[in-house]
Structure 1
Amino acid sequence: MEYEDAYQYQNIFGPLVKLEADYDRRLKESQTQANVGVRWDIGLNKKRLAHFQLPKTDSGKS
């Protein structure tokens, strides 16, 4: 493909890039979890550890 100038390229691909960014944002938002607990601790190597407590899900039941 050849484009006449940068504006033509931008007018073609700009909306496509925006659609992809919107799709990615909606996908990430749909993967959020509520009621997540975090407990912080110091490990033996003096680094911080995070322990996540996720709620139980009912997946797998029909």
Structure 2
Amino acid sequence: MKGADIEIIDRNADGPEVLVPSAVRINGVEVLIPAGAKIRIGEISEDEGVTVTLTMYARRVTIAAEGDL
């Protein structure tokens, strides 16, 4: 299993001190996130993968066995 590439972007950044996310990309595709939604990044360590939790808008959600898609 391969992890996703997550980009959390501040398009209005004035400096490196405070970043306010205004866009999110997953594997290079920008996804819509609700205004004021919190993005949580899990603890970063050398021996564990990083987890990211975010709320986004979905056009469609499919839940099925892989062979049924």
TM-score (norm 2): 0.20
TM-score (norm 1): 0.21
More helix by share: 1
